[in-house]
Amino acid sequence: MKVTFLITLALASFAPAQNAKIEELYHKNCAGCHGANFEGGVGGSLVDGVWNHGSSDEEIYRSIAKGNIPLGMIPWEDTFKPDQIRAFVIFLREQEKKNLSKGQNLPSPSLDQQTKTELENYRLEMVVENGLKDPWAIAFLPDGGRLVTEKSGKLRIISAAGKLDPKAIEGTPQTIEHGQGGLMEVALHPDYAKNGWVYLGLSDGTRAKNDQGKDEVRCITAVVRGKIKNHRWVNQEWIFRADPKFQSGAGVHFGTRFVFDKGYIYFVIGERGGMYEVQDLSRPNGKIHRLHDDGRVPRDNPFVKTKDAMPSIWSYGHRNPQGLAMDARDGALYSTEHGPRGGDELNLILPAHNYGWPVVTLGMHYNGMPMDYNGPDGQKVMSVTQKAGMTPPVTSWVPSIAVCGLDFYTGDKFPKWKNDLLVGALAQKEIRRVRIENKSVVSQETIFKDVGRVRDVAMGPDGFIYVVLNGPDRIMRLVPAQD
């Protein structure tokens, strides 16, 4: 780190309030040497990407905690708690990213112009420009058409010619649009051409007037399947529908996404703001579940014989996964999971593994306070960054990019991207191309930036890459472009 956190010894006696936000702690303790805008002064810049004493999160943490007395940087481990030092690392990463991105020339494509990336060049084509409201997911029909969900509860059809049917499918299950929830995922059964099954992930529950005349909502993510005949939803069957006692009035973290494999369906239920509830195996939220594709519980699920555990649970300790995809090369299952402020994750999903939330996290509260939670005994507990028995992510993004749709590219239109993972991001409005070898991330690249919030990214049967965008609401696709 460039003259790592050079703080004068005169500041050593300052004891910061333990409930102070990280921005306040920086300006009271660090700005005098490193500048109010992190530009440097007596101490070096903290946002130029130069870290003379180690650039990893762990090395920056150690520099803050242990200091460097010969260079005038005092150790802060007796002043700040470990979770506060971790919050400093997140905060500095956010500022560094913001500063460095000013000079970056990331690929921000426009219609019909060639966009160059490290390995492939592409053009951006419009699929549906108008008529959609809050589209969430896309699925591809055998005839070349597509199904698209809208958060409000509508299931829409796009023809093979690219025309959006103005009329939604009739008779779809009641959806409770509430906060981040609504009609979310759509996917076809792998044998759709033979059986016609369409699967939906939605917010299921009730909406009623309370004694004060206000809407009172209770809901949780559910999975249902049905068939589409004569523009109607028919033959409906619930695949997973939680007991109403697990429904919540919270408007956050519904999760959802599907993967089919060998007769099984894997799906996500977010933690619904329940925090420590995700560590409770008797509850469905904060879990990735595995069932037979008709809703039956597989006998080899990891918690089938665990007392009081939900038998559908495959893994637990998840916050808000909104991406789920399987690597065709080895059958490895991956999810992308929203962290709090800082610490979005890519996880390799393994049966019975605990992914830690909220006991373990790389992030902090959105208000800049270190992460804490109410433990099982109701006492306030501080999160840690690692703990025995809890599985760390394959990689993480600090600052958060707000990960969303996820798909492996297995087509032939972009051969140099073969088997790479495409990661959509809402807040950063981008698609990351992530290369995985031997279940480890070896490189990543931003290939798409600032066209809209990327809600879903999926490879179509034609080998093109389809992108579902919010703000503006539309669907576009990436097609190859030659030099």
The DSSP secondary-structure symbol of 6 reads -
Evaluate whether residue 424 is within a structural domain: yes
In angstroms, the CA 347 to CA 231 distance is: 38
Q: Which residues contact 361 (CB under 8 A, 6 or more apart)?
A: 319, 339, 340, 343, 371, 383, 385
Q: Domain containing 210: what range? A: 115-480
Six token digits for residue 414: 């972009």
Residues 90 and 144 in one domain: no
Evaluate whether residue 110 is within a structural domain: no
Evaluate whether residue 297 is within a structural domain: yes
Six token digits for residue 202: 């939605």
Q: What is the pLDDT of residue 101?
A: 76
Six token digits for residue 479: 């097609």
Residues 460 and 389 in one domain: yes
In angstroms, the CA 192 to CA 86 distance is: 48
Least confident of 69-73, 182-186, 466-470: 69-73
Q: Which ranges of 101-230 would DSSP assign to H, the alpha helix?
A: 192-195
189 is catalytic: no
Residues 126 and 70 in one domain: no
Average confidence (pLDDT) over 191-212: 95
What single letter denotes the amino acid at residue 470?
Answer: N
Q: What is the pLDDT of residue 13?
A: 38
Count the domains in the chain. Answer: 2
Evaluate whether residue 17 is within a structural domain: yes
Average confidence (pLDDT) over 59-66: 91
Q: Is the pTM of this model over 0.85?
A: yes
The last residue of one of the domains, among 73, 103, 133, is 103
Evaluate whether residue 234 is within a structural domain: yes
Residues 196 and 133 in one domain: yes
In angstroms, the CA 406 to CA 80 distance is: 38
Adjacent-strand bridge partners of 147? 139, 157
Q: What is the pLDDT of residue 399?
A: 87
- Quote the mean pLDDT of the chain: 92
Q: Distance of CA 292 to CAs 115, 239, 264, 304, 349, Å?
A: 42, 9, 4, 14, 18
* Residue spans of beta strands (DSSP E) within 129-263: 135-140, 146-150, 155-158, 183-188, 198-209, 215-229, 232-240, 258-261
Residues 260 and 379 in one domain: yes
Q: What is the pLDDT of residue 17?
A: 54
Least confident of 11-25, 218-232, 390-404: 11-25
**Is pLDDT above 60 for 200?**
yes
Residues 360 and 317 in one domain: yes
343 pLDDT band, cuts 50/70/90, is confident
User: 304 — phi, psi (to 5°)?
Assistant: -55, -35
Average confidence (pLDDT) over 395-410: 95
| Between residues 83 and 243, the one the model is more confident about | 243
Least confident of 41-45, 140-144, 370-374, 459-463: 41-45
User: Is residue 51 a contact partner of residue 115, using CB atoms and an 8 Å limit?
Assistant: no
User: Is residue 345 a contact partner of residue 288, using CB atoms and an 8 Å limit?
Assistant: no
Catalytic one of 253, 289, 318, 338: 253
The last residue of one of the domains, among 63, 81, 103, is 103
% pLDDT > 90, the chain: 79
Q: Is the peptide bond before 311 cis (omega within 30 degrees of 0)?
A: no
What CATH number does residue 237 fall under? 2.120.10.30
Residues 286 and 358 in one domain: yes
Q: What is the pLDDT of residue 214?
A: 86
Evaluate whether residue 4 is within a structural domain: no
In angstroms, the CA 432 to CA 211 distance is: 48
Q: Distance of CA 55 to CAs 60, 63, 65, 81, 474, Å?
A: 6, 10, 15, 21, 39
Q: What is the pLDDT of residue 483?
A: 59
Residues 346 and 408 in one domain: yes
Evaluate whether residue 1 is within a structural domain: no
* Residue spans of beta strands (DSSP E) within 141-197: 146-150, 155-158, 183-188
The last residue of one of the domains, among 103, 124, 147, is 103
Residues 292 and 436 in one domain: yes
- Model pLDDT for residues 257-285, shown as the tens digit of each residue: 999 999 999 999 999 999 999 999 999 99
In angstroms, the CA 139 to CA 478 distance is: 16
Average confidence (pLDDT) over 31-59: 86
Q: What is the pLDDT of residue 5?
A: 43
Evaluate whether residue 108 is within a structural domain: no
- Model pLDDT for residues 295-331, shown as the tens digit of each residue: 999 999 999 999 999 999 999 999 999 999 999 999 9
18 pLDDT band, cuts 50/70/90, is low
Residues 392 and 449 in one domain: yes
